[in-house]
Amino acid sequence: MEPKKKNAMAVTLVLGILGVSLLIASFATDNWVTSSPVLQRSTQTPGNDTDGSATKYTGNITFGLFRGHRVLDYGIGPRPQDINVVCSGSDGVCAWSNSSDSAKRADYIKRVVKFVNINKTNGTVKDLIEYGLFNFGLWVSTIVMLALGIVWGLVSLGFTAFNVVGKPIETITGPAGLYLWNGLACTFSLLGALLFVGLFTKDLSSNVLPKDDVEVGWVSKDRTKLDYSFYFVVGAVLSFIASNVILLVSGQKLSCSYNRAGEKELDNGMILY
């Protein structure tokens, strides 16, 4: 391989490592979403709700794909708690639970779904979201897509390393294959990011608080945003795209031509082994 192409391949390798690292970091960090809810006591003490900023209690919530942390001030000082995701596949919903009791956590979704079905005539998805539930399918498919992004990213890394140090001759292991592996890593990461944006805009941006807090008067609507763990995925997508652009610019053939150089390398290979 020409030095120019070899250098491009090395850059591709670095970008691939960056992409996979960012995807892993997005799983490992719990800052996908940040929210700063407020306690609006309008239902409890009518009269001093909207303008009395001194009586306004606030909180902070951050979470990742599986767990998170929250600090809410109910008026008796900040109360830190860990939160965990709980899901009910049969109901098609997940929720963030601040209960440290796993039996209570498991029961939580059933309780909310039952409450909405009984107490809201024609309980809708919107009612469920109001009580802190979110779409199970979108959540699971986000995780699956990102996991596949990591898998294809690792495959791409493996073959890129092989192309840098080795003398690949077969198409799928050679430079042409790299477009495919990179492309797959990019596509799945992008799908993961888009699914999460869907989940965020549809459900999470409306409410991230559990039923008990909603009933007391906590509100997180318009106070929730995507945070850096999510942007790690965006960074990974860009890395995989940059990888392919560099391969293309450096003149790696997209098509799989079986040329003379390949034959020669094959001969060398036969002599060597």
Ligand X SMILES: *[C@@H]1O[C@H](CO)[C@@H](O)[C@H](O)[C@H]1NC(C)=O
Instruction: Tell me: does residue 127 bind ligand X (CB under 6 A).
Output: no
How many CB atoms are located within 10 Å of the residue 27 CB? 18
- Contacts made by residues 66-75, CB under 8 angstroms, sequence distance 24+: 66/30, 67/30, 68/30, 68/96, 69/30, 70/98, 72/37, 72/39, 72/213, 72/218, 73/39, 74/39, 74/216, 75/39
| Residue number, 71 or 219, with CB nearest to ligand X | 71
- Per CB under 6 A, the list member of 25, 40, 91, 115 interacting with ligand X is 115
Which residues have C-beta within 8 Å of that of residue 169, sequence separation ≥ 6? 262, 265, 266, 269
Within 77-96, the residues that bind ligand X by CB under 6 A are 78
- Per CB under 6 A, the list member of 29, 60, 141, 187 interacting with ligand X is 60
| Min dist. Cβ of residue 118 to ligand X (A) | 4
Pick the stretch among 113-121, 175-183, 208-216, 230-238 that binds ligand X (CB under 6 A): 113-121
| Min dist. Cβ of residue 33 to ligand X (A) | 15
Instruction: Tell me: does residue 179 bind ligand X (CB under 6 A).
Output: no
Token pair recorded at residue 172 = 């799928």
- Express the helix, strand and coil content of the chain in percent, nearest 5 each: 60, 15, 25
| Min dist. Cβ of residue 135 to ligand X (A) | 22
Instruction: Tell me: does residue 58 bind ligand X (CB under 6 A).
Output: yes
Q: What is the CA radius of gyration of the chain?
A: 25
Instruction: Tell me: does residue 228 bind ligand X (CB under 6 A).
Output: no
- Per CB under 6 A, the list member of 16, 19, 59, 168 interacting with ligand X is 59
Instruction: Tell me: does residue 118 bind ligand X (CB under 6 A).
Output: yes
Number of residues that bind ligand X (CB under 6 A): 11
CA dihedral sign of residues 243, 245, 255, 6: negative
Residues binding ligand X (CB under 6 A): 36, 58-60, 71, 73, 78, 114-115, 118-119
